[in-house]
Amino acid sequence: MNIAQVMLDPNYGGAQRYFADVCLELAGRGHSVLSIIRKNSVLESELVAVGNIKVAVISNRFGWYDPFAVNQMKIAFDRFQPNVVEAHLARAAFLAGKTKPAGKWPLIAKTHNSLNGKYYRNVDVIVPTTTQAAKSESHSNVPRHKFATVIPNFSRLEPVSNVVKPARINKVFAAGRFVRKKGFHLLLEALAELNPSDGNFSLQIAGDGPEFPTLKALSTKLGINDKVQFLGYRSDILNLMKDADLFVLPSLNEPFGIVMLEAMAMGTPILATRCEGPLEILDDTSAILVDKGNKGALFQGLRQAIRDPEGCRIRAQNALTLYKSCYAADAVVPKILTLYHDVIRQFDCKNVTRPS
């Protein structure tokens, strides 16, 4: 099958990680993949190294209504002749929709957050990532017949066989874009509330973004610079996660959270806020869940983890089992391929080679 994937956001986050993983998994399973990405995307070097992935790098200097970007995509599609195209995030769906020739190939949009229907007018099928996203009022301006079955995000990580964690929770780890909605400021404030009797703890945060100066200043103000490391953008999240005793997701808004899947696969205990993504994936048997936007709740969650490492280990083992059965690549990618085949069969694919 010839499958085109489109991602026009050059930043690095969960949606971009999912996009890259989909491209790599499809290529690894013998399909020809066209990856259309924006200039300066951090994903380019990872994708060009794979033999049956063709990478088309386009400029998108003029935003949502960029005719030059549309033309570049048209050229890439014409050369590749896709059986199906999948777009990730609203801009990719909107601009890919402008290239769509009637009756030639179907356009699928994968939602990674809330959506505005005006950007999805030319999309044939919309794939929600969570049950809550499928029910969201933000989707009310999109015709319901366009929605497919929920398909969750996945991770390509090979899971550990069993959870083996130390008897103490000392090394705390967090990762994500440094933006307000990720709640890192609340995590720092909660960490500052811990006292020496809670143990010799430290926090590493991997990531970058506009909030970095604010977070660094807050760490200084709270007097915890000696306990907090800001690691910047890192490509070795797996090793950092393996080395951690506890992973914390303090988000105020988290549509899914692929980094949670990485923690689950590594057998790292999880403390997360009760956002859409964590509540879709986890429950009280597989993680410590606390109210979002609440420094006190995060503090209590940290203290619970520190004082009950065995409870953390049990939850992590349950989360690992859940990952293997529901969120590993072998559990999710077959659902994606089934969707592609079903959509192609239902679509009038004149002038397109049928998938084998």
The string of pLDDT tens digits covering residues 169-225 is 999 999 999 999 999 999 999 999 998 888 888 999 999 999 999 999 999 999 999
| Separation of alpha carbons 149 and 254, rounded Å | 20
- pLDDT grade, residue 309 (50/70/90)? very high
pLDDT score, position 136: 64
Please provide the average confidence, as pLDDT, over all residues in the chain.
90
- Cα within 13 Å of Cα(19), Cβ side: 35
The pTM for the full model equals: 0.87
Enter the tokens of residue 6.
């489109």
pLDDT score, position 355: 45
pLDDT score, position 229: 96
Q: Which stretch of 31-35, 61-65, 87-91, 278-282 has the lowest confidence by average pLDDT?
A: 61-65
| Separation of alpha carbons 53 and 5, rounded Å | 10
Using one digit for the tens of pLDDT, what is the confidence trace for 342-352? 999 988 544 44
- Cα within 13 Å of Cα(16), Cβ side: 16
pLDDT score, position 138: 56
Domains of the chain: 2-154+329-346 (3.40.50.2000), 171-327 (3.40.50.2000)
Distances in Å between the Cα of 148 and the Cα atoms of 6, 126, 128, 182, 338 are 19, 6, 7, 29, 11
Q: Which stretch of 46-60, 84-98, 110-124 has the lowest confidence by average pLDDT?
A: 110-124
- The string over 148-165, giving b where at least 16 C-beta atoms fall within 10 Å of a residue's C-beta and e elsewhere, is bebbbbbbbbebbeebeb
pLDDT score, position 12: 79
Does residue 64 surpass a pLDDT of 90? Answer: no
- Please state, for a pLDDT cut of 90, what percent of the chain lies above it: 72
Does residue 121 surpass a pLDDT of 90? Answer: no
Does residue 17 surpass a pLDDT of 50? Answer: yes
pLDDT score, position 137: 54
More confident residue, 350 or 333: 333
